[in-house]
Structure 1
């Protein structure tokens, strides 16, 4: 394999932070050579699982999600799509690339979207222990109401990774919407915090994802017993976990974006973006469920 020699005196990017204080890389376009990484991961014959939850009307997003993943996600690698759904009959059939397959995991339906959001930690954890550990090496856990719009490859894989929230990548820690009630297990004081991580994109080895989801689920259970619901549900507990169990890699906002946001100059690629929705229908459904209309896809 021929490629340009790395130059120790010339950083690949100087306009953005590419390394955390605990030596975890932050992945941006131009900071890695995908050919080298692909060769390394092919040698190991790595298997990747991609999980999404398609509950109730969100089954309507599955086709766009899978079709875009087939075009851009982990091309050339072994992938299993795990779709958690309460409506298996609504999941269409797909023709997948060689080495890729789809598994449908039937789960209960929940009245409120907050319950779906919080219970997914429990369900990913359970399946990690019972099934995923035998079938894949890494898990990537994302939201289904998204589409891949550019390459997402093995550069994202690490022991445990999180993703910078597109609404807070330049915010101060005081502005982060962490859980601020001290009685909650998700509580983070205003003078603590590294980054604000999005709940809709995390992953790592199956073992590490199990540890993460198990922590979040147990923390939620402890709060439920105190009749507390964290401000941003599973995302709040994810941020608490990453504060004290630092991720070994962080994905930049390239990997999670909403095209309704103004695009900053340093954002060279938008790899995974929110799918435009019928917001009036979503708001109506949320209003029926007692959810504030202010709660958007990516809150700021």
Structure 2
């Protein structure tokens, strides 16, 4: 072999060796990321270890797809506490607070969350609000912190739900997915009244609508226009879900946001404008929630609670007044 060919052969071998090293580094990095993700996802308890649907025979406690419906009395706080206190858990709570709703309710929301939301666990509260507002003044407990995401003052009012989801999706990708194990999204017009704890954690968590839970399914206000991405035809649908409270893991939340924004874009091209709640209900029809929260977790304060609602966790200021 002449000198020129020998040099080429050596260069090829060096390139192959370099590529092997790069591939090895990539594989090691991916392995590390998978291990990190594995240890960030708390191991699940068996449902029977903490949940007893027979404790509440007056309400629906299990769906057709065997997801638990969480009512007061159906779960063991002690079993959950023993499990989750070993998990090094961090929970995120995102809230949109703009305009007069922020003026009236944001401080009350934050004070109540500071007292009742995931007490005893690390919590990061993400506040999405206009750029002119100051950071929240609430004194937070130890192991709790705030992050403020500013929204330009001149865009949120076009469609607050789209702005909220775009903003939240951007931050989930950039950092939230690395900061928290579970994430909830709420509105500032809600106030925590009692403990809202780890019984609510799950892969995909849906909130049963307090009003429509007690109504006939044929009357649910689903999107019915066949050309809409959010359409649920008559005769289909499981429950009616409330858009004011949604939870899950960050990556599952990101999937919801992606499907919602794509659905909005598709409808816009057809001259349609379906609500966020309509898209949410279609999403949960196709992607069943792994846990459902009873109306106790978001009761409309303008209605007197029926006997089934024994322990209100969150009160929603009447939407007719906000």
Do both proteins adopt the same fold according to a TM-score greater than 0.5, normalized to the shorter chain?
yes
The one of 249, 253, 259 equivalent to 1:209 is 253
The one of 75, 83, 87 equivalent to 1:32 is 75
Greater relative CO (CA pairs within 8 A, separation 6+): 1
The answer on 1:184 being equivalent to 2:228 is yes
In structure 2, C-alpha distance between the alignment counterparts of 1:252 and 1:131, rounded to whole Å: 31
**What is the 5 A alignment of 1:22-171?**
22-60=65-103, 61-110=105-154, 113=157, 115-171=159-215
Residues 188-221 of structure 1: CA distance to partner in whole angstroms, max 9, x if unpaired? 0011000000001011001111111111111111
In structure 1, C-alpha distance between the alignment counterparts of 2:67 and 2:95, rounded to whole Å: 26
Structure 2, gaps ≥5 residues long: 1-47
Shift of 1:108: 2.3
Contact 2:131/2:152 (CA < 8 Å) preserved in 1? no
Q: Partner of 2:61 in structure 1?
A: 18
Q: Partner of 2:26 in structure 1?
A: none
**What is the 5 A alignment of 1:274-289?**
274-275=316-317, 279=321
Runs of 4+ in 1 over 6 A off after TM superposition: 5-10
Change (3 A) 1:92 1:10: closer
Shift of 1:262: 2.7
Shift of 1:113: 4.6
Segment of structure 1 superposing worse, 186-195 or 84-93: 84-93
Contact 2:67/2:291 (CA < 8 Å) preserved in 1? yes
Residues 37-93 of structure 1: CA distance to partner in whole angstroms, max 9, x if unpaired? 122112111110000111122222211001011111100000000000114534432
Q: Partner of 2:277 in structure 1?
A: 235
Structural RMSD (CA): 2.2
SS of the equivalent of 2:241 reads: coil
Shift of 1:249: 0.2
SS of the equivalent of 1:192 reads: coil
Shift of 1:260: 1.1
Change (3 A) 1:91 1:130: same
Instruction: Report which of the two structures shows the higher radius of gyration computed on alpha carbons.
Output: 2
Structure 1, gaps ≥5 residues long: 283-300
Shift of 1:268: 0.6
Residues 205-248 of structure 1: CA distance to partner in whole angstroms, max 9, x if unpaired? 01111111111111111111222101xx1111000000010000
Count of paired positions: 274
Change (3 A) 1:86 1:159: same
Contact 1:128/1:210 (CA < 8 Å) preserved in 2? yes
The one of 295, 298, 304 equivalent to 1:262 is 304
Contact 1:65/1:147 (CA < 8 Å) preserved in 2? yes
Contact 1:173/1:192 (CA < 8 Å) preserved in 2? no
From the two aligned structures, give the one with the greater helix fraction: 2
Segment of structure 1 superposing worse, 147-156 or 257-266: 257-266
The two structures have a TM-score, normalised by structure 1, of: 0.86
